[in-house]
Structure 1
Amino acid sequence: MSKQPRHRPLRHFPNAERKIIECDFQECLHCGVPLAAGQSWHMSKTVQTLSGPIFVAGKSKICLNPECRHFEKKYHASGVLKYSLPHSTYGLDVLAFIGWEHEQKHRQLKEIHHDLSERGVLINERSVGRLYRQFLALLGGTQVPLVSNQHLLEIS
């Protein structure tokens, strides 16, 4: 096994599929005037998925009505979130794969890292652990509390 560099290597995916996501809104939510296309992407990144890398970019729209109190407000493309979490370069499918393998199949993070590497996902073992913690945080957000705060106040 060759020694890996200590810094994060630059990763280029020239053949990555391109997905340019437009803002869903056609009109300003506040004044109803049609939105204009923004000048540039509000975000762009290459996301590694189990089926290969994807270049994802979000195009924003802007309100150009000078009488609107939200004049020049940017409306971002929320569709980019169906590929990966903000500030993450790994797809939601990779996140789910890590969580499923660890929770349901009781596999160690080292084994999951090996499987992902064999599938062509460029990731280190530490990132597998970080993505597993993100999976747990997302899963925790779906849980409904068994006891409400109001009920706790009534008990005490």
Structure 2
Amino acid sequence: MRTKNRLNPVESIYYTPEITHCPKCEGKLTYCHPVWRKTISTLKGEFKVINLGYRCENNSCDNHIVYRSAEAEQLSMKHITYGMDVIAHIGHLRFKEHKTRLEITDILTEKQIKISERQVQKLYERYALLLRSSVEENTKEILEKVVEESDGLILSIDGVQPEKGNETLYVIREVLSGTVLAAHNLKSSASQELVGIIQPIINWGYPIQGFISDGQQSIRLAIEKVAPNIPYQYCQFHYFKDIAKPLVEKDRKLKTNIKKKLRGIRDIERKIEESPSESLEDEIASDYVAAIRSVLLEDGKPPFELPGTRVYERTKSIKDSIEKCLDKKGDSFT
């Protein structure tokens, strides 16, 4: 039995082919039938999309192709009711912000996207598949240009595991050009498995100046097996992140202590809301409360952007501003 559609589109959008005339006879293309229609959930809402088919109206033309909109085809993947923007956002949250499946589900739910953990996992796998197939056709031309300008390639290797017990996505990227050379889901992070994805790139024959990784032991062993004479370097970001751990921990405690002292602003908000008349003081107080609330949401990216230090600097600026206002108010009564 077919289940009821869980999506409620806010509007229907019709797409037509980007070309209006037949490529063979230059005859006008006319509407024949809808190629497909489906409801798609995007970051901007839920929409019913109809891709209209057009064909050449010239009966003597032997072109029987039904043309459709390329823009509509790019909105989502086949058999998937979520937009490509949702898939890309899941990839960003996983790889850039290192969010878990549950955290990603909560974030998307807050954006009014109906999704479950299982669906997040499915879309993450689609993202990994797209990443793997995104190696450009002109990769060879790009790499040859890098070799010509820099005398060799610099390869970075990194792995991301979405959840414990799942496959790990390993990505090999050429650092100087930013080109992704390989992306594979591996069930094991053993060095022998990693050799299988590094060796084909070495076999391409391009000179390699060095490898960079986060210091994972299995990656280092794999590089040692296939390229013992090529220099290896520990990623500087990971290096600074490791040596800054004591500082980051103290910064975290600073942030926690400051935020504890700011939790009482709800009482101030209630007093403002209960005020019988909106005075200038109430308006100014509301602005300061809004500024403090924004501080509570403040975050950073250690080790180079410490959130605790940022919160301290912003609260100090707010405190100095309040003191100046109080001094001016005192001067106005003297």
Shorter-chain TM range is 0.7 to 0.9
User: Does structure 1 residue 98 correspond to structure 2 residue 90?
Assistant: yes
For 2:92 and 2:99, locate their aligned partners in 1 and report how far apart those are by CA, in whole Å: 9
Higher Cα radius of gyration: 2
Q: Which amino acid aligns with 2:23?
A: L
Aligned length: 142
Give deviations 1:37-84, integer Å, cap 9, x for gaps.
12x32111111112211111111111232322224x311121212322
Task: Tell me which residue corresponds to 2:63.
Answer: 70
The alignment status of 1:48 with 2:41, answered yes or no, reads yes
Supply the distance in 2 between the matched residues of 1:123 and 1:33 (Cα, whole angstroms). 45
Runs of 4+ in structure 1 deviating by more than 6 angstroms, as ranges, are none
Instruction: State the alpha-carbon separation in 1 of the partners of residues 90 and 34 from structure 2.
Output: 30
- Alpha-carbon separation, structure 2, partners of 1:42 and 1:140: 29
- Give the TM-score taking structure 1 as reference length: 0.79
Q: Secondary structure of 1:74's match? A: coil
Q: Give the 3-state SS of the residue equivalent to 1:61 in structure 2.
A: strand
Partner Cα separation in structure 2 for residue 9 and residue 119 of structure 1: 22
Partner of 2:71: 79
Percent identical residues: 27
Which of 47, 52, 61 in structure 2 is aligned with 1:59? 52
Paired residue for 2:21, among 11, 16, 27?
Answer: 27
Match of 1:137 in 2: 129
1:63 and 1:84 mapped to 2: Cα distance?
27
Q: CA RMSD in A?
A: 2.4
Q: What is the CA–CA distance in structure 1 between the aligned matches of 2:129 and 2:7, rounded to whole Å? A: 29
Cα displacement (A) at 1:10: 2.8
Q: Aligned with 2:61: secondary structure? A: coil
CA distance in 2, matches of 1:128, 1:101: 11
Structure 2: 5+ residue runs without aligned partners?
140-180, 183-199, 206-334
Query: For the structure 1 residues 113 and 9, does the alpha-carbon distance in structure 2 shift closer, same or farther, using more than 3 Å as the test?
Result: farther
- Per the TM alignment, residue 9 of structure 1 is displaced from its structure 2 partner at its CA by 5.2
Give the Å deviation of 1:89: 0.8
Mapped partners of 2:111, 2:3: distance in 1: 20
Asked if structure 1 preserves the Cα contact closer than 8 Å seen for 2:7 and 2:41, the reply is no
Shift, 1:8, TM fit: 5.7
Task: Tell me the TM-score normalized by structure 2.
Answer: 0.39
Kindly provide the amino acid, as one letter, of the partner of residue 89 in structure 1: T
Q: In structure 2, do the counterparts of structure 1 residues 63 and 54 end up closer, same or farther at CA, with 3 Å as the change threshold?
A: same
Helix, strand or coil: the match of 1:36? strand
SS of 1:75's equivalent in the other structure is: coil
Structure 2 residue aligned with 1:18 = 12
Cα distance between partner residues in 1 of 2:120 and 2:3: 15
